[in-house]
Amino acid sequence: MKTYYIFSNGVLKRKENTIVFETSNNEKKFIPVENVEQIFVFGEVDFNNKFLNFIAQNNICLHIFNYYGWYSGSFYPRETNISGKLLIEQASHYLDPKKRLILAKKFIEGAIHNIKRNLQKRDNFKEKTEKISVFENQIKSVTNIPKLMALEAQTRKIYYDCFEKLSGWSFEERSIQPPKNPLNALISFGNSLVYSIILKEIYLTPLSPFISFLHEPRERRYSLALDVAEIFKPILSDRLILKLLNLKMITNNDFVEELGGIYLNERGRKIFVEEFDKQLESTILHRKLRKKVKYKTLIRLELYKLVKHLLGEKEYQPLKVWW
């Protein structure tokens, strides 16, 4: 199964039992529906109900990004892997403050470990990693979620300060809407891709994407994907950003300044997406399974660990990278 990324302007259509993308120049590209896992749309693309119904029947997620590469939303087909028991347990864990805090701590525990690991892989950050370890050790004693998120924010401030030295690019401070410099633009774009990929993986499980534990569930957002993304952003996005900058695969020429913000241009987004997809398809030796698994498979394994926790089968332990 493949992920398709569309950067050109045009129309997505159903043509009999396949998908057709017709560009503004009337060029047609046929996409075999049985080979599609999800579609990312970065160009100005039109589609109708007939197309949406077709991809829903084939369990295909559609992720939409605006002109600046900013994540707009996803078309999430009707769920097929449904479990009433799991839904009740997921809701009860959210409604029980103690159970919710336990899971929220697990997500932060995994996130901070993976952040620290990114620094440990490189020289001259001993003092920074020691400071992060102090925050890491405070997780167990935190009594509520706002304090837990404040702990993570302090960790990320130290972490992002290191990004300047790691990349050689100015960071200043975290700015999101809009990103104020290229490094912030890369972080926001990468985080959006991670969030979208995790959402697709949630769709393949019986979990509800609307019930979360660290982030507060709200209308019109898939907040469980935000929870799980905390663990995977350092692995899938941050490491890739440093690679792209250190190898000069992305330069200042790959950004555009508009509407008071800095954004990746089309060439920059294509480079980022191509390398991101390669990374998802690459493999790592899984210690417990004793076999190689794809990076995107790590996400699904993580979600099923969460399922087992909610069902009372096995306590959830977040993915902590060792590589």
- Residue-level pLDDT at 218: 80
Do 239 and 179 belong together in one domain?
Answer: yes
Domain span at residue 18 reads 2-65
The tens-digit pLDDT sequence of the chain (323 residues) is 789 999 999 999 998 889 999 998 888 999 988 889 999 999 899 999 999 999 999 999 999 998 888 899 999 888 778 899 999 999 999 999 999 999 999 999 999 999 999 999 888 899 999 999 999 999 999 999 999 999 999 999 999 989 888 888 888 888 887 899 999 999 999 999 999 999 999 999 999 999 999 999 886 679 999 999 999 999 999 999 999 999 999 999 999 998 889 999 999 999 999 999 999 999 998 888 888 999 999 999 999 999 999 999 999 999 999 88
- Residue-level pLDDT at 9: 92
- Residue-level pLDDT at 282: 94
Do 43 and 107 belong together in one domain?
Answer: no
Do 125 and 61 belong together in one domain?
Answer: no
What is the number of domains present in the chain? Answer: 2
Contact 19, 28 (CB under 8 A): no
Q: How many Cα atoms occupy the beta-carbon half-sphere of 244 within 13 Å?
A: 28
Report which DSSP code applies to 235. Answer: I
Do 23 and 166 belong together in one domain?
Answer: no
Do 37 and 148 belong together in one domain?
Answer: no
With residue 191 as reference, give the H or E element that holds it.
helix 182-203
CA distance 159 to 132: 8
- Residue-level pLDDT at 74: 93
- Residue-level pLDDT at 117: 94
User: Which phi and psi (to 5°) does residue 319 adopt?
Assistant: -65, 125
Query: Which CATH number covers residue 36?
Result: 3.100.10.20
Contact 183, 171 (CB under 8 A): yes
Query: Which CATH number covers residue 121?
Result: 1.20.120.920
Contact 206, 163 (CB under 8 A): no
- Residue-level pLDDT at 10: 94
Q: List the beta bridge partners of residue 41.
A: 6, 64
Do 182 and 268 belong together in one domain?
Answer: yes
Residue 122, SS3?
coil
Do 56 and 95 belong together in one domain?
Answer: no
- Residue-level pLDDT at 220: 64
Residue 50 has which token pair? 């007939």
Do 117 and 51 belong together in one domain?
Answer: no
CA distance 270 to 128: 33
Q: Which of 14, 34, 65 is the last residue of a domain?
A: 65
Q: Which residue has the tokens 């924010």?
A: 153
pTM of this prediction exceeds 0.85: yes
Q: Taking the CB of residue 287, how many other CB atoms lie within 10 A of it?
A: 8
Tell me, yes or no, whether 48 lies in a domain: yes
